[in-house]
Chain A
Amino acid sequence: MPKYVIVGNSAGGVGAAEAIREVDPCGSLAIVSDEPTPAYSRPGIAELVAGAKTVERIVYRDDDFYRKLRIETYFGRPAVRIGLAERKVYLEDGEELEFEKLLLATGGTPIRPPMEGADRAGVLSFTTVADALALRARLAAIGSGAGGEASRVLVIGAGLIGAACSDALVRAGVKPIVVELRDRPLNLLLDEPASELARRAMVKAGVELICNATVKEVLGRPDDDRSVGGAVLADGRRTDCGAVVVAVGVRPRMDLAAKAGLKVNRGVVVDQRMETSEPGIYACGDVAEAYDCIYGGNRVVPIWPGAYRGGRVAGFNMAGRSALSEDATVMNTIKYFGMSLVSAGEINVGGQDGYETLRRLDLDGPDAGRYRKVILKDNRVVGFVFAGEIERSGIVNWLLRQKVDVSRFKDKLLSDSFDLIDLPAELRRAHYGEATISQAQRQLGWGRRLSHAASPRTNGGIISGN
């Protein structure tokens, strides 16, 4: 009986566990995690800070998930070493777990840029439920929302995590100061015009955004030097604040893999089956450097949907059903500060050789805030950014992942009303029902079963086959 061990209990680990159980209902399955809680939605922690949801409402799976899928849980028990020869995972508390197939879904560690005074109370990260609850407790302690400079919160980083955190703070009634190293917010996810839209939305929401800046030192309070009371920027500017949230991103947590001698680069290197350099050991999610279909090679793409889908591919392969990660790439939605923004694929390659940029921007006027940009290479969509109308963005994302030649209808991609009807007939037909039939069923010859019988009849919209 196969023995599966998954290290990591977030999107990737859950995705793999669900896939394993679809194929193999019997093999023993264990999930190890250093966090003590059942899986929760990591992006959902912003809702805790905003006070919009409770911890119970951001769980990623229901209470009976682990019991129903017959998963042994080792929560709050960090894994410290992988023994390749003996095929064992060693936990900090001395427990040893034997495995036949192992998945490393250990995620990322928050990056803490060096600055003086970073050990003062009130310097926080923003990745876990514990971080969110600590931030909320800190807000209560410093009396945020009551006004006064010392009750403000300084957020370092205006990327996805920084934006999520500062949006949550705004919703909690706090006006954050956001310090960004680069020249514009969300610079990895957005191009310049979309960043400008984001900047306007942030400023309108009451965020004080300081770009091209870093924090040099975190200061103590006049009455308590061990607690955050302010900060000094690299250019000497001083500001008072009651808390500092470090939200500059995460780096792959690959020490387990590296110590075991697995091939690592920026992340743990995996093939399209999500298998590492060591047969039987897989990796996915923020820790993995996996194939990106638009980038055309391996890279670390730390996004939640990618972690789940990568975990799903890993899980199938671990359980013996062949699967490949073929259409993975970056995609993000940004709903902060009242914005409605999506981006996917390569979006900052404009002007480079071989790329064609289609663009429509309404910065002012009645359609202010509407923006659509689609980047093509060889008449295939390789990236896009939409602001405003996003309900049909999934169709463009489908064209991107499927590498569809869009030359016949590319003039329509910039229209707010772009929809399936704008596709040529044969592409349109793929959406009337094809997606409901999986590749496996197709191989089994679904739909050919009736080939010698009469065509199925319909009666009042009900199909009656036999």
Chain B
Amino acid sequence: MRRVFAREEVCIACRLCEVACAVEHSESKHIITAMRHEHPKPISRIHVEVDGPFSFAMQCRHCEEPLCAQSCLTQALRKGEDGVVRYNPDYCIACYTCMLACPEGAIVKASRGTWKGVAKCDLCPDREIPACVAICPNEALLFGEAWEWEAMQTPAEPPILARGGHRA
């Protein structure tokens, strides 16, 4: 499955991903209407963390072994057969065990009137590319398979000749 990955070396902390996420998960999906007229305000499931020159955007990584879903006291959080960890508010009892379990701190509180629960990244089911990735001006958010991303972390080995041919 394709997931979203973060790159702190190119993130410029513009927070456009937060805006795009909140709008995508609003009722109107329209930036002005969503931010000015919807109550409660739509919340973003991605958050940008900044410390001086360093920044990156954090959201659910849809872990292979999702501790949030494994710890969920109900079946509000489940990993689908496609690998996406989804949230169903109907079953949520707002115990927040998922927050205590998530190693990424990627689950946020949400409420609407008397209803209390959480919100998390759903990889934008209505879109081909998640809204945060689509809007990121600097490719600080990437969408791809885990092995593709992993390959980017380990630079390609140079051809044998270029290394002096000392390897058989």
A and B associate in one complex = yes
The chain A residue with its CB closest to the CB of B81 is: A68
Given A394-B100, A461-B129, A461-B134, check contact A436 B64 (CB 8 Å): yes
Contact of A60 among B6, B64, B75 (CB under 8 A): B75
Provide the residues of chain B in CB contact with A333, threshold 8 Å.
Answer: 95-97, 99-100
Interface contact A436-B151, CB-CB below 8 Å? no
- CB of A305 within 8 A of chain B? yes
Q: Which of A423-466 contact B (CB under 8 A)?
A: 428-429, 431-433, 435-438, 441, 446-456, 458, 460-465
Provide the residues of chain B in CB contact with A422, threshold 8 Å.
Answer: 51
Q: Which of A300-359 contact B (CB under 8 A)?
A: 304-305, 308-309, 312, 331-333, 335, 340, 342, 344
Q: CA of A228 to CA of B155 in the docked complex: distance in angstroms? A: 73
Interface contact B6-A432, CB-CB below 8 Å? yes
Q: CA of A331 to CA of B97 in the docked complex: distance in angstroms? A: 8
Provide the residues of chain A in CB contact with B58, threshold 8 Å.
Answer: 419-420, 431
Given A451-B151, A455-B151, check contact A394 B74 (CB 8 Å): no
Q: CA of A436 to CA of B146 in the docked complex: distance in angstroms? A: 7
Q: Which of B131-147 contact A (CB under 8 A)?
A: 133-134, 136, 139, 141-147
- CB of A397 within 8 A of chain B? yes
Q: Which of A160-175 contact B (CB under 8 A)?
A: none
Interface contact A309-B147, CB-CB below 8 Å? no
Q: Determine the interface band of chain B, counting residues with CB < 8 A from chain A.
A: 35 or more
Stretch at the interface among A39-47, A94-102, A283-291: A39-47
Most buried by B among A304, A390, A420, A437: A420
Interface contact A393-B64, CB-CB below 8 Å? no
Interface contact A420-B105, CB-CB below 8 Å? yes
- CB of A58 within 8 A of chain B? yes
Interface contact A390-B100, CB-CB below 8 Å? yes
- CB of B82 within 8 A of chain A? no
Contact of B100 among A42, A308, A342 (CB under 8 A): A342
Contact of B75 among A41, A332, A398, A429 (CB under 8 A): A41
Chain A 43-64, CB-CB to B under 8 Å as 1, else 0, gives: 1101100001100011111100
Contact of B103 among A305, A342, A431, A461 (CB under 8 A): A431
Interface contact A456-B95, CB-CB below 8 Å? no
Q: CA of A314 to CA of B100 in the docked complex: distance in angstroms? A: 23
- CB of A391 within 8 A of chain B? yes
Interface contact B8-A428, CB-CB below 8 Å? yes
Contact of B148 among A309, A421, A465 (CB under 8 A): A465
- CB of A377 within 8 A of chain B? no
Q: Which of A16-49 contact B (CB under 8 A)?
A: 41-44, 46-47
- CB of B35 within 8 A of chain A? no
Provide the residues of chain B in CB contact with A465, threshold 8 Å.
Answer: 144-145, 147-148, 151
Provide the residues of chain A in CB contact with B98, threshold 8 Å.
Answer: 394
Q: CA of A62 to CA of B76 in the docked complex: distance in angstroms? A: 11
Given A432-B56, A433-B61, A462-B142, check contact A456 B151 (CB 8 Å): yes
Residues of A near any B CB (own CB < 8 A): 15, 41-44, 46-47, 52-53, 57-62, 304-305, 308-309, 312, 331-333, 335, 340, 342, 344, 390-395, 397-398, 419-422, 428-429, 431-433, 435-438, 441, 446-456, 458, 460-465
16 pairs from A and B in contact (CB 8 Å cutoff):
A42-B73, A43-B93, A44-B73, A59-B91, A309-B70, A394-B99, A421-B50, A421-B56, A422-B51, A433-B146, A433-B149, A441-B146, A455-B152, A461-B142, A462-B144, A463-B148
Residues of B near any A CB (own CB < 8 A): 3, 5-8, 49-51, 54-56, 58, 61-65, 67, 70-75, 90-91, 93-105, 107-109, 129, 133-134, 136, 139, 141-157
